[in-house]
Amino acid sequence: MSLNAHATPALAGLVPEFPMGYVDVAFDYVYDVNLLANQVVRDGVVPIHTDADFVLRAIVLSQATGAFSIRFNDSQGYYLSSGFLMSANFLSGTVPFPYPVFPEMLFPAGSRIGVEINDLSGAPNTVQMLLRGAKRFRLPPPRR
């Protein structure tokens, strides 16, 4: 059996779509940054809304005008990758494709996703990344 890394775990047959008592609603957070030539940003932040937890399932390069490297961390300082990811990792030829985060990663409501990004183009660089996943809402308890 092969696993589709771009599918949610439920569609891959691994676990239920979402835990009992919750519902997932597809949602993307956007990270925009305008980098100067060879600029390094160590304190980029994507704040998570306070209305629901966020389940990160994929990272998508939406736009970039040059090469860069990037890595993400959670509010505890845990990095999602052991090193920086090159912008070319988010492309198939010249076409962007989702970079799967497997297993999916949960960010609590009100937390943040940290971003470290380095321009490698030697020129001004406009980058937009989509953090693709779902907002995980808690369902109200059943009425009796």
Residue ranges of domains in the chain:
22-138
pLDDT for position 13: 53
State the pTM of this model: 0.82
Whether residue 32 has pLDDT greater than 60: yes
Chain-centroid distance, C-alpha 112:
11
pLDDT for position 90: 87
Whether residue 67 has pLDDT greater than 90: yes
Closest alpha carbon to 13 in 25, 22, 1, 24: 1
pLDDT for position 135: 96
Whether residue 81 has pLDDT greater than 80: yes
Q: Mean of the per-residue pLDDT values for the chain?
A: 87
Which is higher by pLDDT, 8 or 105?
Answer: 105
Q: Determine the average pLDDT of the residues in 24-43.
A: 95
pLDDT for position 1: 42
21: confidence class by pLDDT, cuts 50, 70, 90: confident
Torsion of CA 82, 7, 58, 17, to 10 degrees: -100
Q: Determine the average pLDDT of the residues in 79-106.
A: 86
Say which CATH topology domain 22-138 has: Jelly Rolls (2.60.120)
3-class SS of residue 32: strand
